[in-house]
């Protein structure tokens, strides 16, 4: 299968950060394996719009197990009426583990969306934070940015397949975007989650594809402008 990339499509790179890779504090299974493919994909400049999300937590974040004395990593507790996993501290602001991965050329990225910087609220999806104390899920600004550029279709890759990529896909579908996941350019926290994650994508109507499906794709007819990239 070979796909045609619409000029109204965006590539969203979810949390491609060292802390989610081997040697990091919250390593995904084979998380570093996606780095060469993502770098190659970005260098091909297939997408008119490219966004990266970046976990960006304060050191005392509520999702960190260290913020809950007596608890253990990956334990689940109730928080604001929802289940909260207690994670090892990861992607702490201004640390090397929170940086966008240095082996990738990020110069073609138009926008970086930082998430999880409220110490009271966890954040998985690129579109919305998790439920906060008021019961709402605050927007990250990603949907507004995409709307301003006429985007109606998104392609997702990154980490972790079973958490942040999945939540981003769920919100993308909910917001009306045609949604694709580049399966081989994602990795899970644990591979045992792959079957339920794939079932969930099918239930959502998410198109699961591989980077090879883009092998013969062409650059969109409207050329991407190097000037005017908005990095935050």
The catalytic site residues sit at: 15, 115, 164
Per-position b or e across 49-79, b if 16+ CB within 10 A of its CB: bbbbbbbbbeeebbbbbeeeeeeeeeeeeeb
* CB atoms near residue 103 (< 10 Å): 12
Strands 82-85 and 76-79: antiparallel
H or E element: which one contains 201? helix 194-204
Looking at residue 6, what DSSP letter applies?
Answer: P
8 Å CB contact between 137 and 174: no
């Amino acid at each position: 299968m070979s796909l045609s990339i619409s000029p109204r499509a965006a590539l969203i790179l979810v949390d491609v950060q060292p802390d989610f890779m081997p040697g990091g504090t919250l390593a995904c299974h084979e998380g570093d394996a996606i780095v060469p493919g993502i770098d190659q994909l970005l260098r091909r400049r297939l997408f008119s719009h490219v966004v990266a999300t970046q976990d960006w937590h304060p050191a005392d974040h509520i999702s960190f197990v260290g913020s809950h004395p007596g608890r253990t990593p990956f334990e689940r507790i109730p928080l604001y009426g929802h289940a909260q996993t207690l994670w090892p501290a990861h992607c702490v602001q201004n640390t090397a583990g929170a940086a966008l991965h240095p082996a990738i050329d990020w110069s073609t990225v138009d926008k970086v969306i930082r998430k999880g910087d409220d110490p009271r609220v966890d954040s998985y999806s690129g579109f919305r934070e998790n439920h906060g104390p008021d019961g709402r899920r605050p927007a990250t600004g990603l949907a507004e940015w995409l709307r301003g550029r006429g985007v109606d279709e998104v392609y997702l890759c990154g980490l972790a397949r079973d958490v942040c990529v999945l939540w981003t896909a769920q919100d993308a579908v909910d917001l009306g975007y045609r949604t694709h996941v580049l399966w081989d350019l994602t990795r899970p926290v644990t591979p045992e989650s792959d079957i339920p994650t794939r079932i969930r994508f099918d239930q959502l109507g998410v198109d699961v594809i591989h980077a090879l499906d883009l092998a013969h794709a062409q650059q969109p007819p409207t050329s991407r402008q190097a000037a005017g990239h908005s990095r935050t």
